Amino acid sequence: MNLHAVKVIYYNEMLRTWNTLLQSIASPVISTALYFVVFGAAIGSRIESVEGVPYGSFIVPGMMMLSLLTQSISNASFGIYFPKFTGTIYEVLSAPISFIEILLGYVGAAATKSFIIGVIILITAAFFVDLRIEHPFWMMGFFLLTCVTFALFGFIIGVWADNFEKLQLVPMLIVTPLVFLGGSFYSISMLPPLWQKITLFNPVLYLVSGFRWSFFGVADVPVGWSLAMIAFFLALCLGVVGWMFKTGYKLRQ
């Protein structure tokens, strides 16, 4: 394992974040505050609690999951797409390092950025509502697994994308709607029976439900299903990335 190569790629990716540190911090703080103003104040005044949890607190895991998914995908996809766009990716591919070391550098940096943003959102939310974390170990597990899994997914999108439009296609048109429809800001028990069954086909529901359970001990689906879903998606992403490097898909042209 060439740890020096991993560190170089990792630090190079993190350097872009440090150069825009104010924007990286200010954006999630402002977004979180706006969510509490819109959802917490406007809707929270009509919905006092959901499954015994105050509505303002109930939406925190959903807000964090929305940011984690979108930021992980965005950071990782841009991180690998930009070297492809400029042509510097061939310098990385021609270096005496394995695809595992390349993956650790790019995905590790993207997951770290998402983790930092998630922590900032959690701290910001604590100023607005009373938070409790009943299962801190599981919360951290879901937290890290989500960052890593969707950073891998973003890496796949970055390799697949041929232009900046494709880079934004999946996060904007698929992932974000799935998050909003996956019980991020409500419990699916509030939906009509037919829509409850339809929502069960939304994979993001299982991530949000498991994450919320780690905070408040309430969930829309069994926690075991949530763990199985994220483990399956992680394994699937690893398999796809391995195939991409093995075949050189859109990397060696």
pLDDT score for 166: 82
In a domain, 180, yes or no: yes
Full residue range of the structural domain in which residue 52 is found: 3-247
Query: Tell me, what amino acid is at 143?
Result: F
pLDDT recorded at residue 217: 92
Is residue 30 assigned to a domain?
Answer: yes
Contacting residues for 206 by C-beta, under 8 A, at least 6 apart: 221, 225, 226, 228, 229, 230
Residue 110 belongs to a domain? yes
Nearest to 198 by CA among 217, 184, 178: 178
Rounded to 10°, the helix 60-86/203-216 angle is 130
- Within a domain: residue 94? yes
Q: Supply the pLDDT for residue 180.
A: 87
pLDDT for 100 equals 86
| Domain-embedded: residue 252 | no
At residue 131, the pLDDT reads 85
Q: Is the entire prediction scored with pTM above 0.85? A: yes
Q: Tell me what pLDDT residue 42 has.
A: 67
Q: So what's the pLDDT on residue 221?
A: 93
Q: Are 113 and 18 in contact (CB under 8 A)?
A: no
Q: Other CB atoms closer than 10 Å to residue 29's CB: what's the count?
A: 15
Look at residue 74 and tell me if it is in a domain.
yes
Q: How many domains does the chain have?
A: 1
pLDDT the model gives residue 157: 93
Give me the amino acid identity at 190: M
Mark the ranges of the chain whose per-residue pLDDT is less than 50.
none
| 61 belongs to a structural domain | yes
- pLDDT score recorded for residue 20: 67
**Is 253 domain-assigned?**
no
